[in-house]
Structure 1
Amino acid sequence: MSPSERILAEARIPELPDPYFGKVRDCYDLPADAEHGARRILIASDRISAFDRILACIPFKGQALTQIARHWFERTADICPNHVLAYPDPNVVIGKRLTILPVEVVVRGYLAGSTSTSILTRYRKGQREMYGHRFPDGLRANQALPEAIITPTSKAFDGGHDEPLTGAEILSQGLLTAAQWDKVQDYALALFARGQAEAAERGLILVDTKYEFGVDETGAILLADEIHTPDSSRYWIARGYAAALETGGRPPSFDKDVIRSWVEARCDPYSDPLPEIPADLIATTAKVYADAFQAITGAPFAPDLSGETPLARVRANLAPFFAV
């Protein structure tokens, strides 16, 4: 089996209890133990998702993202406790099972973005009051903000759309207590500052990122999900930033959206049948994730080729957790 054929398309393992299958991760809830309480197995597949659909599988994407998140979880544990308990496999995290807070925290250091909730999109439409912040006239696309800001959104657990929030709305709607919101803000800004500083040492700009927090059975707030990966964050290549800002172009980045753009140019991705993704486009995207791993962590990406298949390897590494 060639490396390009070693894809973890899914991790459906019937011996594991209480499954939940998301767009990208396959998860299982483990019984509580005396030491850690409730636990969850999170298996990062190689699926790539956009438009609320699975577009393709990218070799080693799950491993790259899991290991980038591991790099950052380990390098920020002194700032904020996180859900990680163990890494039994390159694609797998055993984490504390948390109650996820109903607010998604997005920290932004630049006037950037293209989605409907991004501050650049809204700024171009003339909005100057956003997320409880006031923006002056005359800002240029992609320029640095005077300081990092938090732009929270509601977290849609039912498949709905996230909606912009202000701090006052978070409190008035009872989404978080004042103490929780203060703690989340402190954690998020400190994590982002650490991420920006270390990215700069690697010749990168951490532009913006999202964080997901949850509470454990004691009420403590922990960082969950992932941190500072190319799927949860925007990175620019520092050496090309100044020229792009001067010309109004897009700064160079890890362009992981090549498949998304290719599909969008050929159909209505929300309703039409999806075209088959060319093999060279899949290979290009796989290289993007491998290159991102090396650029962010400073270490070469080493795909795990052990086991007859990736699924067989994952099954073997998770066998101690099989229901008996």
Structure 2
Amino acid sequence: MSKTIIDTNFNFPNQKSVYKGKVREVYNIDNNLLVMIATDRLSAFDVVMPKGIPYKGQILNQIATKFMSQTEDLVPNWLIATPDPNVAVGHLCKPFKVEMVIRGYMSGHAAREYKTGKRLLCGVPLPEGMKENDKFPEPIITPATKAEMGDHDEDISRKDILKRGIVSEADYLVLEDYTRKLFQRGTEIAASRGLILVDTKYEFGKTKDGKIVLIDEIHTPDSSRYFYADGYQERQDKNEPQKQLSKEFVRQWLIANNFQGLQGQTVPVMSDEYIDTVSERYIELYENIMGEQFVKADVTNIQERIKTNVETYLAKANF
């Protein structure tokens, strides 16, 4: 059997529907619970790569669920249980149609925009005289929303979110507050492990009783960028690239192979050897971010393992 899971087609008891995102597949159980399966798919520049990355789904799911446990005193979240290494079960929520991106440093998308001469990102003014990977005076929130056509993320300002009625002002103030609190906690946890949390994104939803909760993922290498703290300032002073833990190394490989998700571009072929190195990098990410050894789950038959674990959980769950 394949050692990766890149697609699922389950039919769980009381299943109402299934939503397939770029990486996660979400099963609606009785309009009450959501079963979220983190696949091994790899997405970059809003394009899903043809091959899966061994253990990636397990890594993302375990980082996200463990960080939710470590932040639930600050911000309520959707999570109820993790019956399988690739699976999270939580409350059915209506997602807000914005991603709350928060940046502590001039990196990634922000740096690329800055280099083109832009000094306003999502309505937030950017200081003059910054160079790539410099720290912002204060973290900035630069939201994104899905384009009306397709799944591409678009920058959007707070003003436009409110003007277009995407989120009410009262709710948006809560989203901003939760975003800053989560980023501060994530920054503290990262620092305790010799890392810098550079930027990240959070997604939120509303439960049936109207409570705003954190959903999806938190502080994973797919949603976040980390630098090693040791040597950060020295590398900045020498104008050297930062040593980082994130999916950015995949983006840079794609850029070097003439792919940025633009129309007419072809996804470069990832060799099995390169796939293995990506998997090893994700394991390194896990162990550095979580401060513990990664334990590989049995991948003899991932589909059957997930099916059995989820069905066993649902049979015992009393909702």
Q: Common fold, TM-score beyond 0.5? A: yes
Counterpart check, 1:47 vs 2:41: yes
Query: In structure 1, what is the Cα distance between the partners aligned to 2:106 and 2:5?
Result: 36
* 3-state SS, counterpart of residue 34 of structure 2: strand
Query: In structure 2, what is the Cα distance between the partners aligned to 1:98 and 1:137?
Result: 41
Structure 1 residue aligned with 2:289? 296
**What displacement does 1:50 show?**
2.8
**What displacement does 1:275 show?**
5.1
* 3-state SS, counterpart of residue 245 of structure 1: helix
Structure 1 residue aligned with 2:278? 285
Query: After the TM superposition, which of the residue ranges 57-66 and 150-159 deviates more from structure 2?
Result: 150-159
Structure 1 residue aligned with 2:301? 309
* 3-state SS, counterpart of residue 108 of structure 1: strand
Quote the RMSD (CA, aligned, Å).
2.2
**What displacement does 1:74 show?**
0.5
Q: CA 1:263–1:174 in 2, change beyond 3 Å: closer, same or farther?
A: closer
Query: In structure 1, what is the Cα distance between the partners aligned to 2:255 and 2:120?
Result: 31
Query: In structure 1, what is the Cα distance between the partners aligned to 2:114 and 2:44?
Result: 25
Structure 1 residue aligned with 2:310? 318
**What displacement does 1:295 show?**
0.6
Structure 1 unaligned residues grouped into runs of 5+? 33-37
Asked whether the equivalents of residues 23 and 54 of structure 1 are also in contact (C-alpha less than 8 Å), the reply is no
Write out aligned runs for 1:65-76 (5 A): 65-76=60-71
Structure 2 residue aligned with 1:35? none
Structure 2 residue aligned with 1:127? 118
Q: CA 1:183–1:29 in 2, change beyond 3 Å: closer, same or farther?
A: same
Deviations 1:43-100 (A, max 9, x none): 1111112352333111111001100111210110011111111111000011212111
Deviations 1:141-194 (A, max 9, x none): 211111111111223475253332222222222122221111111100010000
Q: CA 1:259–1:165 in 2, change beyond 3 Å: closer, same or farther?
A: closer
**What displacement does 1:20 show?**
2.2
Asked whether the equivalents of residues 103 and 155 of structure 1 are also in contact (C-alpha less than 8 Å), the reply is yes
Counterpart check, 1:9 vs 2:6: yes
Asked whether the equivalents of residues 104 and 138 of structure 2 are also in contact (C-alpha less than 8 Å), the reply is yes
Structure 2 residue aligned with 1:89? 84
How many residue pairs get aligned? The number is 309
Query: In structure 1, what is the Cα distance between the partners aligned to 2:249 and 2:98?
Result: 29
Q: 4+ residue runs of structure 1 moved beyond 6 angstroms?
A: none
Amino acid across the alignment from 1:108: R
Amino acid across the alignment from 1:14: N
Query: In structure 1, what is the Cα distance between the partners aligned to 2:185 and 2:258?
Result: 40
Report % sequence identity.
Answer: 37
* 3-state SS, counterpart of residue 282 of structure 1: helix
Query: In structure 2, what is the Cα distance between the partners aligned to 1:125 and 1:301?
Result: 40
Q: CA 1:190–1:272 in 2, change beyond 3 Å: closer, same or farther?
A: closer
Query: In structure 2, what is the Cα distance between the partners aligned to 1:264 and 1:126?
Result: 20
**What displacement does 1:297 show?**
0.9
Asked whether the equivalents of residues 222 and 246 of structure 2 are also in contact (C-alpha less than 8 Å), the reply is no
Q: CA 1:256–1:178 in 2, change beyond 3 Å: closer, same or farther?
A: closer
